Amino acid sequence: MRLLLVFLICVYSTLSFSMNKGEYSVEIKNHEIILDSLFDLLRSSTLDSEFQRYNQEFTEQLEKTLELKESFSYPFKNLVKMSKLVSPDGEFRLFNWNVESQSGVHSFYCYILKKNGTIIKLRDNHRIIERAESKSLTHTNWYGALYYKIIVTKKGRYTLLGWNGKDGMTTQKVIESMSLSRKGAKFGFNLFEYPSERKTKKRVILTYSDEAIVSVKHYKTKKTEEIVFSHLSPSTPQMTGFYQYYYPDLSFDKFVLTNGKWIFESDSLMKNEKSNQDDNYNPPE
């Protein structure tokens, strides 16, 4: 495989030099070729030993790539099978992916690249974090997810929408709160308020049947900003608390952004418009 990668790099370097002298350097383009090849090997793996091997190689290569000065602006167009997000305020990028074991359990990986070049590695501990909706976490103790949306809640404070494949029986959508410090990241702020219940959550985790498709979307107009999501109910009253039997019940709840906090409103009367992206990350390809 290494011989193949060397060959690809040599060919691509020659073409790149002759065809495009340089919006971006040959070096970072070569790094992308290696990343793309390793990620394809990771995605085509069927054994846990292969997952571990190729994920480790991919992670090491990504760390080397993110150290390059061009990495913040480079588009990485070939890495189409992983999440690459830029914050709306241009302060950071996310490089985010998941690995599913043979048993169906998901692990998550994420690197935050700040505009000043600082690299923050997130460590996933979601399987051992208890009462996760009430916990303040950091980049070394992260509730892993595959993010598909970054929302600027207020200056320096962000809300992330993500997917967690969980365990083969249940799936989760995660509404996370985050801020960045000089060298790290903090997760879990008291942003999610439930006025009728007089309680606040640090993050919101929707857990439901692996067979279901649950929508969590962000809407913004000149007058309002909302996160609208499917209301979940057990298939029968006897299944209450058994989340592998929870499904959307065709009603919707929402959070409305008010003075920097998300205020919960139940059973919103809102039509769910069809979108080509409705099934994003449920499950990811």
Residue at 87 is within a domain: no
* Per-residue model confidence (pLDDT) at position 168: 86
Residue at 35 is within a domain: yes
**Average pLDDT along the chain, 285 residues, taken 10 residues at a time:** 42 38 86 97 94 97 98 96 96 97 93 97 97 98 98 95 94 98 95 96 98 96 95 96 95 95 80 47 43
Per-residue pLDDT reduced to its tens digit, 115-133 = 999 999 999 999 999 999 9
Residue at 244 is within a domain: no
Residue at 59 is within a domain: yes
Range of the domain at 54: 1-71
Residue at 9 is within a domain: yes
Residue at 43 is within a domain: yes
pTM of the model: 0.86
* Per-residue model confidence (pLDDT) at position 224: 95
Counting the structural domains of the chain, the total is: 1
Q: What DSSP line would sit under 189-253, residue for residue?
A: -S-EEEGGGTEEESSEEEEEETT----EEEEE-SS-EEEEEEEEEESSGGGTT-GGGEEEEEEEE
- Token pair 């690299």 is at which residue? 119
* Per-residue model confidence (pLDDT) at position 204: 98
